[in-house]
Amino acid sequence: MINHDHFIHAKRARRSISTRCTSPTRPALVPEFGGMDGAATNHPAETSFRLELRRLFGPELDLPATTEGFWLLGRGPDCDLILAHASVSRHHARLDLDRGRIEDLGSSAGTRVNDVLIKSQALKAGDRIQIGPWQFAVTDAGNLATGATVQRAAMTTALAAPRLDLLLKFSETINQADTASEIYSTLTEVAMAGSGCQRAVVIDLDDASLPVLAQSAIHTAPFVASRQLIDASREGGVIQLSELAVGERSASIRARRLISATAVALMNNGVPCACLYLDARDGEATEMPDTARFCQALARMADLALARLHQQQALWQQRERIYADLHDDLGARLLNMIYRAQDTASADEARAMLEDLRDVVSRPAQDQLALPDLLAEIRSEMARRTEAAGIRFSWLTQTLPEPLLWSNRAAALLSRSLREALSNALRHAQPEEIDVQVEARAGRLVLALAHDGQFLPPDQWSPGRGTRSLSERCRALGGTITWSARHGDLETCLNLPLEPRT
């Protein structure tokens, strides 16, 4: 446990001693960094440069003038470097300028060096220290040119890696999005995270009232964007507050005390359709360097994702029109065949074809279907077909775990598999009774269709198209299908995943 009173007293004592990191030894009576209760220890110099901090990101602050001894960092009033933020502990860390080392003092949020949480860490020129919303570059105070180069390099590194991760995650998320609102929402979240701004919004440019399409903000207060910047973005580029002369800025910009702002247009076929807007206000952290290019990259990626979504929607609408035509034309013909059939077998075959058509037409319109609802549909269809054929029918379902959602493709595969199994029974066995049992067994869905009648034992079958197509459908669902003769009945058993991936 750190004795902070003793620590502060020792700190003041050390400041009266003029030392440099090139000194081979330390005065024996001066408590060294990491010593306990004032214990005197001697250490050789750990650095060969004069450590200095330069702020990369975070709210403005005044760094202490002293470049020797050590600093206490935190939000407490007795700290040398006061970091006034809720995420910073009262006594957060201490920095030994002589030995070039930083130690976390048991802070709640932690101290990071080069994005890694540390307890105690030796420092070198080019390292990045992060505490709360601040990032500092470690430079050599004795070499101004090197210090400036290190600061630029540290700033580039600090921005590049996190932003690259954000861009990759953004691309992955928006290319899986099903709606424009999902893309807009993700865009505001990533833009805020990668810019340092505390608010971001996407605004609809096609509506004169400029409605908000998505918004992310740290603060819950109402957020009003600058209309001047939004209107300027309609030309299709990027506009920043710094590009507007002070005299050209609107009264609303001055009233909101904006210190930085960025607006980027989102394009639809080369025409601005929406605007990504971010800003920072007086008293908040300024936006990170190169925010305009980062946001422009996000906007172009969002444009591509929206174009993909629009193309999918257009293809979907075209497909729906084709399905509707198929249903109206072929459906009417199949119904006519059912009513004019000379025997029950022909009527049943036409009825099965009609159900296949309905699967093709209706399944794509559904995103997902609960397994109990899917089984209820299949049971109802089987009941209609067996009743029309004058065959006794029973269906028993054991309790299934919930929720179980099946994709439209998986639902169609299961429907057609059981439909074909029933058609085979009606066409070849001339059964008097058909029984279906459904249960969850060892994490699998097991469906067994058993019937009596005339049939050969499965081991005497020659490979045929019917059994092959059934096997292929079950494989597509990640399962298997088997046939067996039991107690005078032929049983067709489907063993499938409870939630198949197709």
Listed residues 140, 169, 192: the one ending a domain: 140
Q: Is residue 21 situated within a structural domain?
A: no
**Distance, CA of 76 to CA of 51 (rounded, Å):** 23
Provide the CATH number for the domain around residue 447. Answer: 3.30.565.10
Q: How many helices (H) and strands (E) does the chain have?
A: 10, 22
**Distance, CA of 31 to CA of 27 (rounded, Å):** 9
Give the other-Cβ count within 10 Å of 42's Cβ.
11
Please state which of the ranges 25-34, 318-327, 349-358, 468-477 shows the lowest mean pLDDT.
25-34
Strands 81-82 and 70-74: parallel
195 and 107 assigned to the same domain = no
115 and 182 assigned to the same domain = no
369 and 286 assigned to the same domain = no
Q: Is residue 46 situated within a structural domain?
A: no
**Distance, CA of 145 to CA of 127 (rounded, Å):** 16
Residue 17: the pLDDT is 28
CA separation, residue 435 to residues 95, 351, 362, 374 (Å): 79, 20, 27, 18
128 and 165 assigned to the same domain = no
* SS3 of residue 240 by DSSP: strand
Q: Is residue 342 situated within a structural domain?
A: no
pLDDT of 154 strictly over 50: no
Residue type, 497: P
202 and 233 assigned to the same domain = yes
132 and 270 assigned to the same domain = no
* Reported pTM: 0.45
Name the average pLDDT for the chain.
78
Please state which of the ranges 101-105, 212-216, 367-371, 434-438 shows the lowest mean pLDDT.
367-371
134 and 163 assigned to the same domain = no
Provide the CATH number for the domain around residue 283. Answer: 3.30.450.40
111 and 185 assigned to the same domain = no
Contact 399, 434 (CB under 8 A): no
Q: Is residue 303 situated within a structural domain?
A: yes
Q: Is residue 32 situated within a structural domain?
A: no
- Which structural domain range is residue 467 located in? 364-497
* SS3 of residue 51 by DSSP: strand
**Distance, CA of 8 to CA of 302 (rounded, Å):** 52
Provide the CATH number for the domain around residue 134. Answer: 2.60.200.20
Contact 431, 451 (CB under 8 A): yes
Q: What are 191-235's pLDDT values in tens digits?
A: 888 887 878 999 999 898 889 999 887 666 667 788 888 888 888
Q: Is residue 456 situated within a structural domain?
A: yes
Residue 274: the pLDDT is 92
Q: What are 428-463's pLDDT values in tens digits?
A: 888 999 999 999 998 899 999 999 999 999 988 887
Residue 78: the pLDDT is 93
305 and 164 assigned to the same domain = yes
Give the pLDDT band (50/70/90) at residue 90.
very high
387 and 482 assigned to the same domain = yes
376 and 471 assigned to the same domain = yes
Give the pLDDT band (50/70/90) at residue 168.
confident
Q: Is residue 2 situated within a structural domain?
A: no
Mean pLDDT of 288-313: 87
373 and 286 assigned to the same domain = no
Tally of domains within the chain: 3
Residue 124: the pLDDT is 87
Q: With helix as H, strand as E and coil as C, how does 132-144 read?
A: CCEEEEEEECCCH
